Every structure is written in structure tokens, then in C-alpha cells.
Structure 1
Amino acid sequence: MSDALITFQIGATMNDRPSRVLVVTTSHDDLGGRRRTGAYAPEVAIPWVAFTEAGLAVDLASVAGGRPPFDGLDTADPDQQAFFAGADLDAAPALAEVDLARYGAVFFAGGHGIIRDFTSPVVGAAASAVWAAGGLVASVCHGPAALVGAVDTSGQPLVRGRAVTGFSNAEERAARVDDVVPVLLADRLAELGADYREAPAFTEHVVVDGRLITGQNPAIDRTCRG
């Protein structure tokens, strides 16, 4: 799945960077008044467990601080069980309060809440800071919305001229929320100059461009965990 492949890529390219990963989630819980939403639980829990099993230290932050809202909960999923039992979600700091210099990688988890608050300046600034320090910037599904406000060391959009992916327009239509989300992520990334690369809807797809790692969707296959 995209989450596991991203985990493998991060683990394989950390090298001598600090072996600590920051996982960032949304704080937004409403999908245009249609239903409750938030971070997509598998896209937080599966990477969290995989990072931990790979020997990396993992911390969690939410955009506004405190316990993030979740969508896609499955109490029978062992990764979700492990994550919710082990992570102190209520103590999650606000992203703006995090010392980003401690991290060799940042992972922006997905979920429909993300499209509302990952485009905020504080999120883009976090991606920019980790990038400028030579760290890895990774995201999956709607998580690449964090890249919309991110810049490289020259002040240009981080995605400009770089290969990326993210939740596609076809997937938004299939989920019947293309008329609810405030922006179609694939279009916005392309507008910023990204080389947006799309696979068929809900199939495994990860794009790696140097230290920038993006996954299109939460297609799940735990057998490919790295």
C-alpha cells in the first residue's frame, strides 16, 4: 500500500539524519456539512506502527493541538489498536509549537479534514523548515495539501518542477465529494508547477523525487510494509 511504501522509502533514506519522525494530522472534523471527517485513521496508525517497528522514534502533532478527529476507524484493525493504545493523542502539541529541528522526516497523514487546514501557513512552514534542514518530506492521500504552501530554499513552491502525487480528481468523484472539497488537490498541485502523476483510482501509487515522497491514496496491502 502507499503508506507502507512511504514508510520503506523514509526508512531507507534517513541515513545519518536524526532518527525521529513527526507525524502531522488535521484538526478539522467537518466535510462541508455533509458528514464528520478528520484524519484517516489507517493513514496515521499504519505508518506510526511501521515507523516504530523500524526503530524510529515517532511523535504526533495536530494542526491546532490536542486530540485529532479521525475518520475510517476500525476497532478490529491491529495497527489501529496498537496506535490508539500507545499514542497520547490528547497531549499532541499544536504544529506551530513543535521544534522541527529534532526531526529527520515529517509525514503528513491524509483524510478529508486535511484539505481544510493543511493549506494553512503553519503547515506549509513546517514542510519548508524540514526541507530546508535536509530532511525528508512525505505525505499520502490528501496529505500533499501540506505542500501547497511549502517553499524550497530559493523561495519557490516546493512542488515546482518536482514529481508528486496525491488524491486524484477521479478519486474525489468516486467518493462523491468533489463538489464539497474546497479545492481539488491534484489541480492545485499542478497549478503550482508540480509534475503531478496519477495512477488509476484507488490503486497503489507512490512517487519519490529525492527527499520528497508522496502517495496517491490509502490502498492497503500490509504485505508490502517496509
Structure 2
Amino acid sequence: MKKKILFVVSSAAHIGPHNRATGNLLTEVAHPYQTFKKQGYDIDIASVNGGVAPIDMVELDDAMNLAFLADEGAVKMNNTASINDVSVDGYDAVFVPGGLAPVVDMPENPTVQKILADMYEKGGVVSAVCHGPVALINVKLNDGSYLIDGKNVTGFSIAEEENYAKEDVPFELEDALKQRGGQYSAASPWQPYVVTDGRLVTGQNPASATGVAESVIAILEPTT
């Protein structure tokens, strides 16, 4: 049976005290999307508010990004379902891309937390990249424990944030993951780095986006 992936994306278009324009980072949506699509998976996109999910349009000279926008990607991002209307039933994995946007509307969102917890509890794969793991920091499982407690994780590092958006974010993702018991590790800034711990997959930065999707596929398509 064909696998199904649920993308959970942000609805935020601005962040921080200076009202910095942001969105879901194009590379971190497009590269995993195209990787899952090549594998033959069905992909649905749901956003916090539904409707238009803003895209941070960087790297428009990138072939996978352009393919995503020229194909169905732009249409799907402009017509997302609301997370309030989504159930994880029927999906094999959930993926949260980054960009600064999820920092705005995901950490304290109970529906985001429920989607991620439900996916994990039912035996599915939970994955996120760059700032996307911000959605994980307050997710609790049925036993009351934090999903990331004791698990190996990564995400956008303090070293990377220093020259990117330190003045715009309300906290450092690296610190937040550690505070919830995550066993955080990272590579050198901007280098691809993916961490898999069971059915939890996290990537450090935009360069890690394809690797996260490939790691999810490896879990869903185990070799015999």
C-alpha cells in the first residue's frame, strides 16, 4: 500500500520585535516533498490556520525548489487544510519543515502537539528539520513524558542562529530541546546533519532537509 505523509506547516508570516518577514522555508518544504514524491508517496499539507501557508522564497535558483513551485507545491501551500480538521489516521509519518515561522505558532499549539503525539503513539514516524523541531519541545506522550526526553535530536544550532535570527527568536531552539531532555548534537554550522532515534528523525538546517526525508523513507521501507 502506498505510504502517506502529512506535512504540518506554519501559518506565520512575521516574527519578532522587528516584525521580520518569514514563512516556511522553501527548501525545507520542497526538497522533502520532492523526495517523498519520487518514492511514490502521497503527501498532504496542513497548516496551523488552514488556507495560505506563507513560503520564505529563498534559493529560487534551486532545481528542486523550482520543480516544487511549478508542479503542485505552490497550489497545495496556498490551499492547505487546517490542522484542526486533520487526523493522523491513514498517515505513516508527519513532517514539520522549518523557517522561522514555526517558532511563532507551533511550540504552544495543543493541536500540533496532539498530531505529533498521536503519530508517535500509533507507531508512525515523527520528523522535523531546522526550526521545525520547535514543534516537538512541548509534546507529551500518554504516560506524561516529553516525546524528546532521552532521545537523540538535533535542530538549528545556537552557532547558526547567532548570524541568522538571534534578535528575532524568543529563545534558542538548541537550549529548548536540551531543557526537555533531548540529547542534542549538531554538526558545524550549515553542514547537513540528520539524527534518527527510533521513529523520531530530526535535521539541523536547510542542508539537512533531503536527508530527513531519506531517513524517514528508510524507516518506512526497511530492508529485509
TM-score by length of 2: 0.87
Identity of aligned residues (%): 36
Q: 1:134 aligns with which of 119, 123, 136?
A: 123
Matched, 1:83 2:68: yes
Q: What do residues 158-181 of structure 1 show as CA deviations (whole Å, max 9, x unaligned)? A: 000001000011111021x21220
1:24 and 2:12 correspond: no
- Superposed counterparts of 1:194-205, under 5 Å: 194-205=182-193
Q: Which residue of structure 1 aligns with residue 55 of structure 2?
A: 70
Distance 1:57 1:163, change over 3 A: same
Tell whether the 8 Å contact from 1:124 to 1:149 is kept in structure 2 after alignment. yes
Question: What's the secondary structure of 1:208's corresponding residue?
Answer: strand
How far is the alpha carbon of 1:183 from its aligned partner?
Answer: 1.5
Q: Distance in 1 between matches of 2:200 and 2:37?
A: 21
The code of the aligned residue for 2:3 comes to S
Alignment partner for residue 114 of structure 1, among 98, 102, 106? 102
- How far apart in 1 are the matches of 2:72 and 2:212? 23
Q: Is the CA contact 1:22–1:107 (under 8 Å) kept in the aligned structure 2?
A: yes
Cα drift, residue 72 of structure 1: 3.4
The residue that corresponds to 1:44 in the other structure is: 29
Deviation at 1:63, TM superposition (A): 1.1
Q: Where in structure 2 are there 5+ consecutive unaligned residues?
A: 215-224
Cross-structure match for 1:12? none
Instruction: Give the TM-score of the pair, scaled to structure 1.
Output: 0.86
**Aligned in 2, Cα 1:221/1:109: closer, same or farther, shift over 3 Å?**
closer
Contact 1:115–1:183 at 8 Å: present in 2 too? Answer: no
CA–CA distance in structure 2, aligned partners of residues 224 and 90 of structure 1: 24
- Residues 23, 180 of structure 1: CA spacing in aligned structure 2 closer, same or farther, 3 A cutoff? same
Of structures 1 and 2, the one scoring higher in RCO (CA 8 A, sep 6+) is 1
In structure 1, how many angstroms separate the alpha carbons of the residues matched to 2:88 and 2:194? 25
The answer for the alignment partner of 2:133 in structure 1 is 144
| 1:194-225 deviation per Cα after TM superposition (whole angstroms, max 9, x unaligned) | 11112111111111100000000012797998
Inter-partner Cα distance in structure 2 for 1:77 and 1:46: 10
CA deviation string 1:128-185 (max 9, x = no partner): 010011000000000001111212232200000001000011111021x212201211
The equivalent residue for 1:10 is: none
- Which of 157, 160, 163 is the matching residue for 1:168? 157
Structure 2 vs 1, CA of residues 56 and 160 (structure 1 numbering), >3 Å: closer, same or farther? Answer: same
Unaligned runs of 5+ in 1: 1-15
Alpha-carbon distance in 1 for matches of 2:57, 2:121: 33
Q: Which amino acid aligns with 2:159?
A: A
